[in-house]
Chains A and B, each alone.
Chain A
């Protein structure tokens, strides 16, 4: 089980997406997943070993690291990637449900079980709203947990067993900050893509409904 599983899941979702949805999948693959695996993971690899405090008191470094990094940036990033990709599975399940229903009744119940209309459209819209919501939740979480998107070089720690206020130095703060900004930028891009896809679909189907009503009235 690795990131290849997520890649396969997203490739499956791609079939039922609109054009904007496919761009979203491409952005998630290239600029988030690939950057995470190829570059970001290695920056945070030895973050605990390289976190150094100006003290010899045993336990002080551990306690200070735990206080300043309740959940490491890289773990939050991984969780965000997983959570944000999961709502697309709702669409896959709905299509599978439609197809199994047709098989069960051995007759054609839908004009095309894979076309986004009716119930499948609702599922697709819900998945878009969930994706956007989760992206925003994680961005807010990052902001609240780490007081903005800055990573300082030095943090001052005075938790027991540290005797007094102790200087602790974070490793590679600039590099971590650059990748954190990259993460935020790609999240915002994905939010924009999701919102434009949402508005496009709502607009398209409201025009369709309106034209249908107009035709009915004329008849």
Chain B
């Protein structure tokens, strides 16, 4: 069980996401999880061993390290990534539930069911409308909330995003004020700023996706209201059918262009 398993779980959700959602997932995996595993963990690997205090008093180093780093950056990022990925599971569960219902309809031999076999149901991509729209939008909303909470927690705990070279400590049992030196402060500052920048990009992507979904929702509503005002006639039905086909074609084109495998 590791980040690879998370990739498998979220990859399944990707099929039903918007294009912005697919970009968000790519940014999450390449610029956050991969960077965390491949680079950041090495930088913070020796953090307590190389945290050196100018004293021989046993225990002083432990206590000062604990005072300045209540929870390590690397652990905070890992928790942030886990919490931010979790709302996508809501969408995965909703899609699985819909698939289950369609399979049940198919097994009952329902005339309305438009699928020829179970494989088609399994491969079907659901459009983001109806109750799935609400689930998807709430998942984006929760993602935003979690990102904001963790960014704030980071800023609050470490007084900004800079890692100082020297920290002055006078917690007991340190005899007086003692100088303690952090290992690799510049490298840690660089990675901290990088992770914060990528978090901000993810927040922007989520906000953009939210705006896109809301716009689409209101446009669809006004179109429906406009259609219901006109008298229903044969020409209108053909127009709406053509519109739906055009939407499906454009959606499938988007799929091939972005092409994230699931």
> In the complex, what's the smallest C-beta–C-beta distance from B239 to chain A, in angstroms?
41
Asked if A4 and B1 sit within 8 Å, CB to CB, the answer is yes
Q: Which of B47-105 contact A (CB under 8 A)?
A: 48-49, 57-59, 61-63, 65-66, 69-72, 74-75, 78-79, 82, 85-86, 89, 93
> In the complex, what's the smallest C-beta–C-beta distance from B60 to chain A, in angstroms?
8
Most buried by B among A34, A35, A54: A34
Asked if B62 and A38 sit within 8 Å, CB to CB, the answer is no
Q: How far is the CA of A98 from the CA of B125 in the complex (A)?
A: 35
The 8 A CB mask of B1-43 against A (1 = contact, 0 = none) is: 1110110010000000000000000000000000000000100
| CB neighbours of A34 from chain B (8 A) | 1-2, 5-6, 82
Segment at the B interface, from A124-132, A139-147, A168-176, A187-195: A168-176
A-B contact count (CB 8 A): 99
Q: How far is the CA of A42 from the CA of B36 in the complex (A)?
A: 14
CB within 8 Å for A178 and B82 given contacts A34-B5, A38-B3: no
Asked if A37 and B2 sit within 8 Å, CB to CB, the answer is yes
The 8 A CB mask of A39-73 against B (1 = contact, 0 = none) is: 10011001000101111000000000000000000
Asked if A33 and B1 sit within 8 Å, CB to CB, the answer is yes
Asked if B1 and A6 sit within 8 Å, CB to CB, the answer is yes
Q: Does B259 contact A (CB under 8 A)?
A: no
Asked if A175 and B6 sit within 8 Å, CB to CB, the answer is no
Asked if A35 and B79 sit within 8 Å, CB to CB, the answer is yes
Q: Does A209 contact B (CB under 8 A)?
A: no
Asked if A46 and B48 sit within 8 Å, CB to CB, the answer is yes
Q: Does B173 contact A (CB under 8 A)?
A: yes
| CB neighbours of A38 from chain B (8 A) | 2-3, 78, 82
Q: Does A94 contact B (CB under 8 A)?
A: no
The residue that A30 contacts in the complex, of B41, B66, B72, B82, with Cβ under 8 A, is B82
Asked if B5 and A7 sit within 8 Å, CB to CB, the answer is yes
Asked if A50 and B62 sit within 8 Å, CB to CB, the answer is yes
Q: Which of B168-220 contact A (CB under 8 A)?
A: 173
Q: Which residue of A lies closest to B45 (CB)?
A: A42
| CB neighbours of B5 from chain A (8 A) | 4, 7, 29, 34
The 8 A CB mask of A153-191 against B (1 = contact, 0 = none) is: 110000000000001111111110011000000000000
Most buried by B among A3, A23, A37, A39: A39
| CB neighbours of B59 from chain A (8 A) | 52-54, 154, 167-169
The residue that B62 contacts in the complex, of A7, A171, A179, with Cβ under 8 A, is A171
Q: How far is the CA of A23 from the CA of B94 in the complex (A)?
A: 12
Interface residues of B (CB under 8 A from A): 1-3, 5-6, 9, 41, 48-49, 57-59, 61-63, 65-66, 69-72, 74-75, 78-79, 82, 85-86, 89, 93, 173
Please name the 10 residue pairs, one residue from A and one from B, whose CB atoms are nearest each other, closest first: A169-B59, A3-B1, A169-B62, A174-B70, A54-B58, A39-B78, A38-B78, A39-B75, A33-B1, A7-B1
